[in-house]
A = this chain, B = another copy of it.
Amino acid sequence: MEKILQQIINSNKKYTLDGQVASYIPELRNANSEDLGICVIDMNNSMYSAGDCDKKFTIQSISKTIVLAMALMDNEWDYVFSKVGMEPSGDPFNSIMKLETNDTKKPCNPMINAGAIVTTSLIKGNTLQEKEDRMLAFFRKLAKNDTLQINESVYKSEKLTGDRNRAMGYLLKNDGYIEANVEETLDLYFKQCSIEVTVKDLARIGLLFSNYGIDIETGKRIISEEICRMVKTFMITCGMYDASGEFALKVGIPAKSGVGGGIMASVPRKIGIGVYGPALDKKGNSIGGLRVLKTLSKKLNLNIF
C-alpha cells in the first residue's frame, strides 16, 4: 500500500507546478508550493503514508466539517437547519449574493463561509474562551492528537484581513441567522481555521467519519452515525467549493478541502484519507491533491456511485 501511495505521489507531483499557494495572508504565502503528501488509515487501523506527510499546515475550510458535527451535537438539528440550509449553491465559497437573492436569505449550506460562520455561532459555551476550549478539545479528540494548536500568526492575519467574512457575519446577524455576538463568532471562526494539522491528523478524522463515528481503536462512539452520514453527504455535495460537482463525478468520494492545501476524504466503511499540497487551482482546491485523490480512487476502486 505504501508503495502505491509513493507511486501516486511521484506521478502527480508535476501538477503542483500548475498551481499557486494561497496569498491573501503572508503566512500562507510561505508554504512550499511543490510539497505533496498523503496519509491513509484503513479499518484495521493500519496507517500508510507517502511524501510530505509530517508537514504542518492550517486546516482552514476543512474545519467546517468538524464544526458542523459539533453544532449538530450541541443543538437540536431542526434548530441548526433553521439557521443554515442543506443545498449546494454552485457559488464561490465567499459569495454573498445568495444571502440576498435567496427567498430566505439563509446561507445555502454549512460548507460555504456564510454557513460555517453560522455553525460556528452555534458552538455552546458560557464564554468565548470556553467555546474556544471546547472547540479545540473536540478537534484534538477527533484527530486523537493532543498537540493540535492554533497557529497564532495565521489567526491574527485572518482576523486582520477578514472584512469580507465580517460583512457576512453582520448580514447574517441582521437577518437573524446568527444570534451570538458577531465579533466573537468571527474570532472563533478565524481560530478554528488556523488550527495546524498534518495529513495524519486529517486521515484520522476522515476515518472516524468513514466508521460512522466509532473510534476504531477503542470501539467508543465519538459522534452519532447520523451526524457522520450528514457530514459525508455535505462533503459530496459541497465539499470542494464550486468544483464539488466535478470532484464527485471524477473521484466520487466525500472530501473537504481547505486553502491551506489540505484535503480530508472519508470513504464509507473503507478508509480515511489526508492529503496535502499547498499549490491551489483557481477554485481554491489543492491542485496536486485533486490528482492524487483521483488516481487513488481509480486504483482502489473507491468511487461510491
Contacts and interface: CB of A to CB of B under 8 A. Distances in A.
Interface residues of A, number: 48
A87 B246 contact: yes
Nearest to A77: B249
A88 B248 CA distance: 11
Specify how many copies of this chain sit in the oligomer: 4
A154 interface: no
A304 interface: yes
Given A97-B101, A233-B252, A109 B305 contact: no
A98 B90 contact: yes
Interface string A240-277: 00111110110010100000000000001000000000
Contact of A167 (B86, B98, B174): B174
Contacts of A249: 86, 229-230, 233-234
A157 interface: no
Contacts of A234: 245, 249
A168 interface: yes
Contacts of A86: 245-246, 249
Contacts of A109: 245
A179 to B, nearest CB: 12
Contact of A245 (B88, B168, B170, B182): B88
A236 interface: yes
A164 interface: yes
A174 B164 contact: yes
A248 to B, nearest CB: 5
Contacts of A130: none
A232 interface: yes
Name which of A232, A238, A244, A249 has the most chain B CB atoms within 10 A of its CB: A249
